[in-house]
Chain A
């Protein structure tokens, strides 16, 4: 009898990974591991590069969420050069950023995750994808998804070049301005997006919330995880993607920490396990408590549901109404229901669209004052944004020539990596009974990570290279008696 089930590769996410499920003699799940199998080494091969080139290199960490890397990088340069972007440059950056949040969140919802709901979690895998969704919901809706993504990416292209690899961004500013002609179509895109985000929330309601079977799944224990939550908030504790202070709330929703992201090293630890390339972050002051949830945990989550849990409110009015509705239906705040990430994601896209409308109507948007040239090179620069998938930190140190001497990146999906391992294990325990498990149930295990919208190329920007060996010798009780290492 097969005691091991492998899902390889995991699909409908960004990146390379697999899931290994181990069964006991009764066919119940004894253990399950979500493993990330890729890495590349950005923190090291960026050393020696002129820092102003980093906003152009870092987007290659991830072609699905390149804009956050570009933006965190540019903000690290602002910090390194002791310079504030001009008001117009800041508006242009936020316009770029909001356009990205909308198109990336919509891509994830419609293309990566909606198949599980529109077609059903256990539907035929050959149809369970965006093509199957378009066939079911029709070309009109399919066309609007394509249109919203296309229009937002047109804004990104206009400001920062290739949407999958933005090359714009300079310390203290942006490289190109917006004209009054541009404002017209940008405003149209913003209006289109507000309307489409409204539609998407209605779509989510009809397809998921109004379907009792799905609502039960969303609220079930199988997809629930009690952790802390982290996200950036502004001075009024409102959700902000572009800037703010880092706030952490405990599983009860009480504020645990509010810190300047320059102090991130004091608060965030990266833990290493030999069975995965991704480093697992945790709350450093509590200390590593293993892969556990609940009161004793030191794990926290980031991304849409986490941000809504952390913030006291959204930045914009229509999104705020949706935020209140969501927590009403989920039974209060904070919500630990992992599948609610999909819902929170659409509410965030809505905020980004409303914010984009504000920017599109701001008189300062089209000013020619796009560069603050008062650069004073310092030694350290740290930039932080809320990437679509969670808190993102770029930390650079430079020499007198402005070449990188040290680079440390804490990337969104790392914060979710340990929680994802737990979510996958829980879902495996619930849905996998016996070695002859139907494909649909394996997909329900995959749904446990899919809600996080993981980005594994991001999470494993680094590379271990040589494989050193650690041998743990345990006695018959399983107690460790000796460790041998070859480094």
Chain B
């Protein structure tokens, strides 16, 4: 019987999710023996032409990582959807837009002016800028068109399953791959991670008082955080209560608070809004003055709350008034 065909493809990506696949270590060799990897640009020489030549549905599973923000990424995403039975949105960028989704809070003009004109090291006497089509010495060269915002994968194609994390941890990757190979998948549309919040499995949870009550928000570099006590109880912003479990508390274990890479818990659309309400309930501020002080200490709300998820959140994108 022919081995199932698998594609591992990156769109607007940093390469970390491909490293996460390699982090399966010896298990990767066993998986690779059971499947036929027909596309994996970081590690294998299959080109897009071979993908174009496939029949619809010929690929059993495509692991697609990265967000979409240019025309080539959209084209490849759609091609993979056509040729694949199952699409797994792999990692925070594919699931939620990812950290580069923060660019949705800026404009093309702002970014463009800095990069190709105003940065102190730029020397651009001819006022060159990358073009979708340019004519160089009589040769026509093309570049993909850049969109004015970042999209999560399911904005562009129908996605069957989601594997969150920046990147997804090795055991999580192994679980997802084996679920497909053994045909033991949950309902379509499922997020392949626990349903509850990170706090539920966090070791520091036991140190959480019944009622957290903080008068002051502390930034992580200003304090020597206690490695065993709940961050919120220490006045340090930690997204645990609003973030899906499953990462293994890897940030906590090095004494750094959660920044939400696993996205919202089951049933919650917008983790940022959820966290604001959790935060409001633990702040100990009575007078208008006290409230103003502590709210101002929350110095970068959108950066804390939506670091990985602007494109998938209620915020979506900065609106420019014309």
Residue positions of A touching B, CB distance < 8 A? 7-9, 11-16, 20, 22, 31, 33, 35, 37-50, 52-53, 56-57, 60-64, 66, 77, 81, 107, 111-112, 125-126, 128-131, 134, 139, 142-143, 146, 149-150, 153, 157-165, 167-168, 170-172, 175-176, 264-265, 268-277, 279, 281, 284, 288, 371, 373, 375, 401-403, 408, 410, 443, 455, 457, 462-470, 483, 485, 487
Specify which chain A residues have a CB less than 8 angstroms from the CB of B136 in the assembled complex.
33, 274-275
Among A15, A22, A44, contact of B111 (Cβ-Cβ < 8 Å): A44
The reply to whether A66 and B115 form a contact with Cβ atoms under 8 Å apart is no
A35 to B250, CA, bound (A): 37
Chain B residue nearest to A446 (CB atoms) is: B45
A46 to B256, CA, bound (A): 20
> 29 A-B pairs, CB-CB below 8 angstroms?
A12-B42, A12-B43, A20-B139, A37-B70, A37-B143, A40-B69, A41-B103, A45-B100, A45-B105, A45-B106, A49-B300, A50-B299, A60-B100, A63-B13, A64-B16, A126-B46, A128-B44, A130-B43, A143-B26, A153-B23, A172-B221, A175-B255, A272-B124, A274-B128, A401-B299, A466-B109, A468-B112, A470-B128, A487-B129
Specify which chain A residues have a CB less than 8 angstroms from the CB of B19 in the assembled complex.
63-64, 163-164
The reply to whether B122 and A464 form a contact with Cβ atoms under 8 Å apart is no
Among A11, A410, A483, contact of B45 (Cβ-Cβ < 8 Å): A11
Tell yes or no: B171 within 8 A of A by CB.
no
Among A39, A163, A457, A485, contact of B146 (Cβ-Cβ < 8 Å): A39
The reply to whether A35 and B143 form a contact with Cβ atoms under 8 Å apart is yes
Tell yes or no: B292 within 8 A of A by CB.
no
The reply to whether B254 and A168 form a contact with Cβ atoms under 8 Å apart is yes
Q: How large is the interface on B (under 10, 10 to 19, 20 to 34, 35 or more residues)?
A: 35 or more
The reply to whether B106 and A9 form a contact with Cβ atoms under 8 Å apart is no
The reply to whether A464 and B115 form a contact with Cβ atoms under 8 Å apart is yes
The reply to whether A20 and B115 form a contact with Cβ atoms under 8 Å apart is no
Shortest Cβ distance from A120 into chain B, in angstroms? 13
A483 to B102, CA, bound (A): 35
A41 to B110, CA, bound (A): 10
Among A63, A265, A271, A469, contact of B120 (Cβ-Cβ < 8 Å): A265
With most chain B CB atoms within 10 A of its CB, the pick from A38, A52, A61 is A38
Specify which chain A residues have a CB less than 8 angstroms from the CB of B116 in the assembled complex.
272, 279, 464
Tell yes or no: B314 within 8 A of A by CB.
no
Specify which chain B residues have a CB less than 8 angstroms from the CB of A455 in the assembled complex.
15
Among A63, A403, A466, contact of B16 (Cβ-Cβ < 8 Å): A63
Specify which chain B residues have a CB less than 8 angstroms from the CB of A31 in the assembled complex.
137, 139
A176 to B222, CA, bound (A): 15
Shortest Cβ distance from B43 into chain A, in angstroms? 6
The reply to whether B167 and A162 form a contact with Cβ atoms under 8 Å apart is yes
Among A41, A56, A272, A401, contact of B122 (Cβ-Cβ < 8 Å): A272
The reply to whether A408 and B129 form a contact with Cβ atoms under 8 Å apart is no
Interface string of B277-309 (1 = CB under 8 A from A): 000000000000000000000011001000100
The reply to whether A37 and B123 form a contact with Cβ atoms under 8 Å apart is no
Specify which chain B residues have a CB less than 8 angstroms from the CB of A401 in the assembled complex.
299
Shortest Cβ distance from B117 into chain A, in angstroms? 9
The reply to whether A37 and B112 form a contact with Cβ atoms under 8 Å apart is no
- Given contacts A268-B121, A464-B116, A373 and B224 within 8 Å (CB-CB): yes
Cβ-closest 3 pairs across A and B = A63-B16, A465-B108, A164-B16
Specify which chain A residues have a CB less than 8 angstroms from the CB of B307 in the assembled complex.
57
Tell yes or no: B18 within 8 A of A by CB.
yes
A412 to B69, CA, bound (A): 24
The reply to whether A468 and B129 form a contact with Cβ atoms under 8 Å apart is yes
Shortest Cβ distance from A140 into chain B, in angstroms? 12
- Given contacts A168-B256, A265-B120, A22 and B139 within 8 Å (CB-CB): yes
Among B46, B119, B167, B221, contact of A11 (Cβ-Cβ < 8 Å): B46
Specify which chain A residues have a CB less than 8 angstroms from the CB of B201 in the assembled complex.
none
Given contacts A40-B100, A48-B300, A56-B259, 16 further A-B contacts (CB under 8 A): A11-B46, A31-B139, A43-B114, A56-B256, A60-B99, A62-B14, A63-B17, A164-B20, A172-B221, A176-B253, A271-B124, A272-B116, A279-B122, A373-B224, A465-B108, A470-B131
The reply to whether A161 and B112 form a contact with Cβ atoms under 8 Å apart is no
Shortest Cβ distance from B58 into chain A, in angstroms? 16
Tell yes or no: B179 within 8 A of A by CB.
no
The reply to whether B146 and A463 form a contact with Cβ atoms under 8 Å apart is yes
A195 to B79, CA, bound (A): 45
Specify which chain A residues have a CB less than 8 angstroms from the CB of B128 in the assembled complex.
272-274, 470
Chain B residue nearest to A147 (CB atoms) is: B25
Chain B residue nearest to A168 (CB atoms) is: B254
Specify which chain A residues have a CB less than 8 angstroms from the CB of B107 in the assembled complex.
465
Specify which chain B residues have a CB less than 8 angstroms from the CB of A153 in the assembled complex.
23
Among B70, B102, B167, B256, contact of A164 (Cβ-Cβ < 8 Å): B167
The reply to whether A457 and B15 form a contact with Cβ atoms under 8 Å apart is yes
- Given contacts A64-B16, A463-B112, A466-B109, A176 and B255 within 8 Å (CB-CB): yes
A213 to B143, CA, bound (A): 37
- Given contacts A170-B220, A171-B221, A470-B126, A165 and B121 within 8 Å (CB-CB): no
Tell yes or no: B166 within 8 A of A by CB.
yes
Specify which chain A residues have a CB less than 8 angstroms from the CB of B10 in the assembled complex.
16
With most chain B CB atoms within 10 A of its CB, the pick from A77, A164, A408, A410 is A164
A305 to B178, CA, bound (A): 42
Specify which chain B residues have a CB less than 8 angstroms from the CB of A273 in the assembled complex.
128, 130
